[in-house]
Chain A
Amino acid sequence: MNPEQAAAYRQFFSSLPSLVTAEDLFGILGQLQDELGCIPRAAIRDLAGRAGVSETRLFGAVTSYPDFLLAED
């Protein structure tokens, strides 16, 4: 993840509602991918924490999609 992406991610995450449900996760991941061109590692942690699902599960899901690109922080 380059600095612009990192900044964009921080911006994105801070604009999320404080309560994210599991129902919203797939859509949010998609939005992230569309806006940043990748899904930062931090997003998996942050979203999992906020939606109360495990980081592990989310990682397993995200790696299944050809159109999701995971990026190291």
Chain B
Amino acid sequence: MSMETISLMIDGRQVSAAEGTTILEAARTAGIHIPHLCWDPRVEPIGSCRLCAVRIEGRNSFFQACSTTAVHGMQVTTEDAEIAALRKGILELIFADHHTACPTCDRDGNCKLQDYAYRYGADHDRFGAAEASPIRSNYASANYGIAYVSEKCIKCGLCVKYCETVQMAEAITLAWRQERTAVTTAFGVDLHESPCELCGGCIRVCPAGAMLDRKAIGKGRDRNLNRVRTICPYCGVGCQMDLLTDPVRNRIVRVTAVPGSPINDGNLCVKGHFGFDFVSSEERLTQPLLRKADGFAAVTWDEALDTIGTRLRRIREKHGPEGLAFVSSCRCSNEENYLMQKLARAAAGTNNVDQCATTCHAPTVAGLASAFGSGAMTNSVREIRDCDVLFVIGANPTEAHPIVGLEMKRALRRGAKLVVCDPRRTWLAARAHVHIQHRPGSDNMLLNAMMRFIIDEGLQDRAFVAERCEEFDVFEENLRAFSVEEAAIYCGVKAEDIRQAARLYANGSPSAIFYTLGITEHTCGTDNVRNLANLAMLCGQIGKWASGVNPLRGQNNVQGGCDMGAMPHKLPGYQNWSDDAVRAKFERAWDRPLPTNPGGRVTHFVEEAGAGTLKALYVMGEDLVVSEPNQAKVVRHLRQLEFLVCQDLFLTETAKLAHMVLPGACWAEKDGTFTASERRVQRFRRAVLPPGEAKPDWEILCLVSEALGYPMHYADPSEIFSEMARLTPSYAGMSYARLGDEGLQWPCPDPDHPGTRFLHEGTFARGKGKFQPIGFQPQKEEPDESYPLILSTGRTLYNYNSGSMTRKTGIIRQKESANFVEIHTDTAARYGIADGDRVRVRTRRGVVAGRAVVGERVRPDSIWMPFHFAEAPANAVTNDVFDPETATAEYKCCAAALEKAEA
């Protein structure tokens, strides 16, 4: 990776740059702006605008700074009278093809074309102004989110290049010639019918205001809008974004992102760019609601808090602190998660506090901690592009973690090799060098066979195993029972593919593992994770740049929720409350004795509510009814609670069962920090005011704590963060002031520590890496005659979790509005099902309907369904059997029957 540094003169200044850098980039790093319209740091130079023409000493013609490589000793002049005149001339020609509508253009005030015109005195009307063509429909006319104004388009091709090479969607192209030249989809089909993934990249890169957010048109020009730098509230990748808000009308007008941002480099996915209609939704809760005999009634905050305090205290007195449980939220900030577990432990006196990580990555936390001593993504998103081999198992990043997917695409373009193990033929799988389409739930069979093969072939990293790891012998002994040939039969894949995958991974320099819920959401989830740790250690593929084991977390702050100790067995920073020194530290800080009950998981809470041992449940920002398996049972059990409090943005399915509902402020209405998958702690900021009487969750938690007799006072979230950082060694060096725009990656133990890019360099967090022998255990519910198929559930690109946020956004509804079931062509033929038919999926727990999507994406023995649709809830049918260690449910496989529904 080391690159020669060269030195050149730009405008008389000495500039150093990495070898291979273009003149434009070299100038940019030195703070010299060379005008350009069609250039973007993420896209290969196009060279269509010709504005970046510069002079090179000793050469005759002009050179395009964007595409000319800087050479050592070069002397560059970025502007003189002749260049300025040339730029003026080019601009005047561009204006002849650009309907100049600055007074009514949303981009007014943030437009390079406008800036350059002013700077060079270009006359926009010198060659006759381009006129607005009569309303002519184009490929985007029918789209709810993206608008294309062809008469403003300068046909620079930047949006097309971004779509083709960064997003790799290839939805749009320049087509036709001469006056007809325009951006279009193939045959001009409507954008939402095209391969467009609605990432909004075309809007963000357009230099001419031709690509616009349709919903933002006329809602405010850039010059009048506030720009608030914040973090995306959807998945766990942690993309930085700017909210452009109208301060007068208190609303988010549109979203954008700036190249160079720490994790996402200015890229966003459909949810990040468009998914914010929920903020100003009419359905937002604006007042506390109390259940009365005839339904909910609005009450004052005083009344609400009084009721909560009284009833929780009464239950605690009668049933002990064990009768209370608290569900924190991975959608909320670190500060709020910290407060929630403090509320549970210090105010209520119970370890009954948990959050949704149980439904997803609890096995990661447990499994990786047991092997390495720390349960988080070991590398950073930025390192992905430098991977030689990407080993992706049980993950569909281009949909579930789109910006990680984008970095993987970037790695592919740079020549990385890709191994995908997934029962579905995902976007990445279709482009993989090896795709192992194994039977759902057969991961350990596959991994053990791979490792057996690696050892047989001598591909393991002997030195790494000897120096950095322990307990290898037992592990190796266990592998003797496995073979590639047997695994190939059980997994339903080619033996040679398993061997090839093993070779690629073991030999990659470097290789990195990426996984998500396809690994964890099994009854053997923790074992699956341990086995991935085994694989990485065996090959020495961990503890290096671009090499490690990387769980991609599902929610914006699921990493932080875990870090903050919003789980029963750990205090903030994964400190054990059984450790006396730790206990003493927290008891001193909180001025309360810490509880010693083991505490339960979310899934236990549901069970205990049914059993009558749990009386009160306090739920913040979670929709248990939609997200927990076996929905009918969840509803039945929650109904038995004496007191259920829900603190949320909306009246969710769970909130409908509650006795008290509190209106929370959403992420855009408060301050705080999120911790991204790559352990980066980043600040998000208030952009608008909450609706009605809704309050930030941290404020609500303080009030509730006070009502429980344990007052907590903080002026703002930074004070909560400071208190947390003092108590949490891995966050100890962080403060709001240090986080700034870039954030910091834990561990960051002291104020001078720069944060940690990748984990386990030189030594593992627990000292030696621990090999653990993992046997194979099949899924709990095998297909049989009555339920002959394996059902898996998962996430799509367009929607998010329970859908309560994404489904309020028009552009997303337009693209994906209802539940569907992926069925293999052969299976569909056997059942007489055609693409688009309505089908029913039945399991021992319930039945769900959806539209059939027939194709080759799933195996013939499997079907797949998303879990975003409350009216067709996948979890009505999923199996409520759990990983014994983490109580994570087996969402990824259960036995199911399929039938065609009558029209």
Contacts and interface: CB of A to CB of B under 8 A. Distances in A.
B171 interface: yes
Contact of B185 (A41, A56, A63, A64): A56
A63 B194 contact: no
A54 B164 CA distance: 9
Contacts of A41: 187
A60 B177 contact: no
Interface string B158-176: 0010001000001111111
A45 to B, nearest CB: 8
A55 B184 CA distance: 12
Contacts of B185: 56
B128 interface: no
A52 to B, nearest CB: 10
Nearest to A62: B175
B187 A60 contact: no
B429 to A, nearest CB: 15
Identify the interface centre among B164, B173, B185: most chain A CB within 10 Å of its CB: B173
Given A41-B187, A44-B186, A56 B176 contact: no
Contacts of B171: 56
A56 B177 contact: no
A41 B171 CA distance: 16
A54 B175 CA distance: 14
B195 A60 contact: no
Contacts of B164: 54, 57
Interface residues of B, number: 16
B175 A57 contact: no
Identify the interface centre among A44, A54, A55, A60: most chain B CB within 10 Å of its CB: A60
B174 A56 contact: no
Contacts of B177: 63-64
Given A56-B186, A56-B194, A59-B187, A64 B173 contact: no
A44 B188 CA distance: 13
Contacts of B176: 63-64
Contacts of A64: 175-177
Contacts of B186: 44, 54-56, 58-60
A60 B139 CA distance: 14
B195 A54 contact: yes
Interface in A34-60: 41, 44, 54-60
Contact of B172 (A44, A56, A58): A56
B175 A59 contact: yes
Nearest to B168: A54
A72 to B, nearest CB: 9
Contacts of A44: 186-187
A57 B175 CA distance: 9
A42 B175 CA distance: 18
Contacts of A55: 186
B398 to A, nearest CB: 16
A41 B188 CA distance: 12
A4 to B, nearest CB: 23
B847 to A, nearest CB: 36
Interface string B170-211: 111111110000001111000000110000000000000000
Contacts of B175: 59-60, 63-64
Contacts of A58: 186
A26 B891 CA distance: 48
A59 B195 CA distance: 14
B186 to A, nearest CB: 4
A63 B186 CA distance: 10
A16 B591 CA distance: 80
Nearest to A54: B170
A44 B185 CA distance: 13
Interface in B126-178: 160, 164, 170-177
A64 B178 CA distance: 9
Contacts of B195: 54, 56
Contacts of A63: 175-177
A56 B187 CA distance: 8
Nearest to B176: A63
A35 to B, nearest CB: 22
B158 to A, nearest CB: 15
Contacts of B170: 54, 56-57
A44 B164 CA distance: 18
A57 B187 CA distance: 11
Contacts of A56: 170-173, 185-186, 194-195
A58 B184 CA distance: 12
Contacts of A60: 160, 173-175, 184, 186
A24 B43 CA distance: 28
B357 to A, nearest CB: 39
Contacts of B174: 60
Contacts of A57: 164, 170, 173
A60 B177 CA distance: 10
A63 B195 CA distance: 19
Nearest to A59: B186
28 contacts: A41-B187, A44-B187, A54-B164, A54-B186, A55-B186, A56-B170, A56-B171, A56-B172, A56-B173, A56-B185, A56-B186, A56-B194, A57-B164, A57-B170, A58-B186, A59-B173, A59-B175, A59-B184, A59-B186, A59-B187, A60-B160, A60-B175, A60-B184, A60-B186, A63-B175, A63-B177, A64-B175, A64-B177
Interface of A: 41, 44, 54-60, 63-64
Given A60-B175, A60-B186, A64-B176, 16 more contacts: A44-B186, A54-B195, A56-B170, A56-B172, A56-B173, A56-B185, A56-B186, A56-B194, A57-B164, A59-B175, A59-B186, A60-B160, A60-B184, A63-B177, A64-B175, A64-B177
Query: Which 3 A-B residue pairings sit nearest by Cβ, starting from the closest?
Result: A60-B173, A54-B170, A59-B186
